[in-house]
Amino acid sequence: MEQTKMVEKAIEYMKEHIEEEITTEELANYVGYSTYHFIRIFKEITGVPPRHFLSAIRIESSKQLLLHSSSTHLKTLLSIGFRSIGSFSSRFKQFVGISPKKFRKEQDTYVTHLELYQEKKTNSGVQGYKKPPLMTCHIKTPDYFKGILFVGLFPRPIPDQRPIVGTAISHTTRYCVFTDIPPGEYFVLAAGLRWGMNPKHYFLSEQSIRGKSDQISVKMDSILDVKVELREPLPYDPPILINLPLLLFEKDRK
């Protein structure tokens, strides 16, 4: 499809020029569309505007640098287009859920905790009757997938913040139940981390299967049944920025 290829071309340009100041007008001109139509089509395909996608790519790149290099904060910032340590740190914590320093320092703790779930049975949800609002999420994965599934409700179609409600389940469970959901408009987003991955890949989105629902309206009396099918990542998928192992660690501590 021509429009999908156009979006992929724009995303590739973002990645190749990530250390530069890139404007939406520049991207639109590069792919041969008017700025208005470029923004509309880009958001329609990816779920988010170009500027938001570019920010997500930069944060994902910073995660890779923090995991795989010993560079200082300043070198990290300069290589991915940030110019201020303060703005980078606050944006990183907003999207990932943890400061850059803590992300690098405590990764082994989160990996160890995550891998304990390989043999652990997970609870799929609430037992017995619960009053609305209530949502049952059925998760379908590829037949070959074995790992842990993260499921949550988000206000935008990109997991760049903590979920409104969320949980983690085994690939053998395939469903979960959410209660005490604040009324609002949400997307159900799910991601799967395979057992046996390089531990550092648990923190990055490029190898995670993922899926999302259409936008869902939750009211005080809602009893909802939602199906989400997970697939391999596509070139135009926004990065999964929230730190999934951290969410599991925090959930169990509570």
The CATH number of the domain holding residue 146 is 2.60.40.1120
pLDDT at position 62 is: 87
pLDDT at position 125 is: 63
CATH of the domain at 69: 1.10.10.60
Mean pLDDT, range 75-101, rounded to an integer: 80
User: How do residues 121-155 score in pLDDT, each as one tens digit?
Assistant: 666 665 555 788 999 999 999 999 999 999 999 99
* Pairing outcome for strands 147-154 and 175-179: unpaired
Residues 90 and 117 in one domain: no
What is the SS3 assignment for 178? Answer: strand
Band (pLDDT 50/70/90 cuts) for residue 37 is very high
Report the sign of the C-alpha dihedral through residues 123, 127, 130, 134, in that order.
Answer: positive
Quick one: tokens of 76?
A: 């990290």
Find the domain containing 85 and state its range: 2-95
Q: Give the strand order in the sheet containing 175-179.
A: 175-179, 134-140, 223-229
What is the SS3 assignment for 150? Answer: strand
Mean pLDDT, range 75-84, rounded to an integer: 68
Q: Per-residue pLDDT for 84 more than 70?
A: yes
Mean pLDDT, range 183-211, rounded to an integer: 91
- Our count of domains for the chain comes to 2
Over the range 61-84, which residues count as b (16 or more CB within 10 Å of their CB) and which as e? bbbebbbeeeeebeebbebbbbee
pLDDT at position 195 is: 92
CB 185 within 8 A of CB 176: no
Band (pLDDT 50/70/90 cuts) for residue 158 is confident
CA–CA separation, 191 vs 60, rounded Å?
16
Residues 155 and 246 in one domain: yes
Give the predicted TM-score (pTM) of the model.
Answer: 0.87
pLDDT at position 122 is: 67
Residues 123 and 235 in one domain: yes
